[in-house]
Amino acid sequence: MTLPSTGSLSMSQVAAELGISASGLNLNHGWVRALAGRPSGGISFSDLRGQSGRIDGSYPTQVAGGGKYIAINAPFFGATVSRLSFAGPAGQTSYALEVSTGCRWNGNVSVRNNTTGGSIVLPWNGSGWSLATGDGSLIRTSTTDSFSIVPA
């Protein structure tokens, strides 16, 4: 999703974009500040116009180099998330969510496969999100599944 560039904008729309409850949400919330690109100082709804703080879509699995991945190429907190991958030999597997430079969110993200109900929380590693664990079941081979990615 992306917040509207013009027209009305409400806190409930911002909450939906971030995947959280509007109850108690305000412009000073860390996720809202990251979405607006305003870590400190004044913030207004105009700072949030056209911003993307969640990814929702259906993506086909691709296999390459001993692993599997989904190509995403979607805006996220001022940057572009390019892909979610799972690779590695047995016992040394890892998930990685790749993002371009300039991403304004450097906290955890939740990746949910809406088709299977599986999910994982990935911590920020300094240049993207990754977790050296998992069985790879979040990304199924030879399928197109629905995914949601939000801050966690």
What single string gives the DSSP state of each residue in the chain?
Answer: ----SSS---HHHHHHHHTS-STT--TTSHHHHHHHT-SSS---GGGTTT----EEEEEEEEEETTEEEEEEEEEETTEEEEEEEEE-STTS-EEEEEE-TT-S--S-EEEEETTT--EEEE-B-SSEEEES---STTS-TT-EEEEEEEE-
| Residue 77: per-residue pLDDT | 96
pLDDT digit string, tens, across residues 24-34: 788 899 999 99
Q: Where are the domains of the chain?
A: 11-47, 55-151
10-residue averages of pLDDT along the chain (152 residues): 88 90 87 93 92 96 90 97 87 88 96 96 96 84 96 94
